[in-house]
Amino acid sequence: MIIAIEGIDGAGKNTLVTAIRKEIGADVLAFPRYETSIHAQLAQAALHGEMGDLTESPYAMATLFALDRHGAREDLLAYAGAGDRVILLDRYVASNAAYSLARTGDPAIVGWVRDLEFGRLGLPTPDLQVLLDTPPEVAEGRAKRRAQLDATRARDAYERDGSLQERTWQAYNQLASADWAGEWMVTSEAEEIIARLTR
């Protein structure tokens, strides 16, 4: 099974993924893969102002993040329909759709993201997508504290933009309400997700 944990920056995705992994022994993969993927590294550089005006194009940024995921495609396919094997994804395709919608305000872009990643790039659809229902103001406070405590976690252009985070939160809720690209649940409780996966 492929379980995608989604939410805005500072929502608590890593904490939740760690708790679920500890309980059910699932494998974990976090996107973007900054340490191993050139596409993720280029996106990161752009978000820290090192790639000129690249971040001005939602399509360019979405493509870099999509190519990062495509680099893990073969690994992900091993979990598609694999029965007892579970992988938890800290962000997946819906993050691209939500941030792209928040940046453009154009609902058509979520269809473009879906076609790009699940269609052209052949990524497997998740069995379940979980949206963390952390309010944007709470998430922003967490992201700020994280950056203060860890010099390697300096907030990027997306994380510093409170308005973008609010719009992305709204976009995520739209995707969840529509069961975009599969089934969704909205929660912040690891126990609810574990119960769902073990029933």
Residue-range domain boundaries for the chain = 2-198
Give the strands of the sheet with 128-132, arranged side by side. Answer: 27-30, 87-90, 2-6, 128-132, 184-187
pLDDT at 50: 94
Q: Where are the beta strands (DSSP E) in the chain?
A: 2-6, 27-30, 87-90, 128-132, 184-187
pLDDT in the model for residue 103 = 95
d(CA 132, CA 185): 9
Q: Which CATH number fits domain 2-198: 3.40.50.410, 2.20.25.10, 3.30.465.10, 3.40.50.300?
A: 3.40.50.300
pLDDT value at position 59? 97
Write the CA distances from 60 to 18, 53, 65, 162, 197, integer angstroms.
31, 10, 9, 22, 35
Structure tokens at 141: 């406070």
Q: Note down pLDDT in tens along the chain; length 199 residues.
A: 999 999 988 888 888 899 999 888 899 999 999 999 999 999 999 999 999 999 999 999 999 999 999 999 999 999 987 667 899 999 999 999 999 999 999 999 999 999 999 999 999 999 999 999 888 888 777 666 766 666 666 656 666 677 888 999 999 999 999 999 999 999 878 788 888 877 7
Using the 8-state DSSP alphabet, how is residue 124 labeled? Answer: P
Q: What is the reported pLDDT for 148?
A: 62
pLDDT of residue 144: 67
- The β-bridge relationship of strands 2-6 and 184-187 is unpaired
Closest to 17 in 3D by CA, of 76, 87, 106, 117:
87
47's CB contacts (< 8 A; 6+ apart) are: 55, 156, 157, 158
Q: What is the pLDDT of residue 10?
A: 80
What is the predicted pLDDT for the residue at 154? 63
Is residue 128 a contact partner of residue 184, using CB atoms and an 8 Å limit?
A: yes
DSSP state of 87: E
| CA dist., res. 89 & res. 6, Å (int) | 8
pLDDT score, position 82: 63
CB hemisphere CA count around 191 (13 angstroms): 0
How many other CB atoms are there within 10 angstroms of residue 154's CB atom? 12
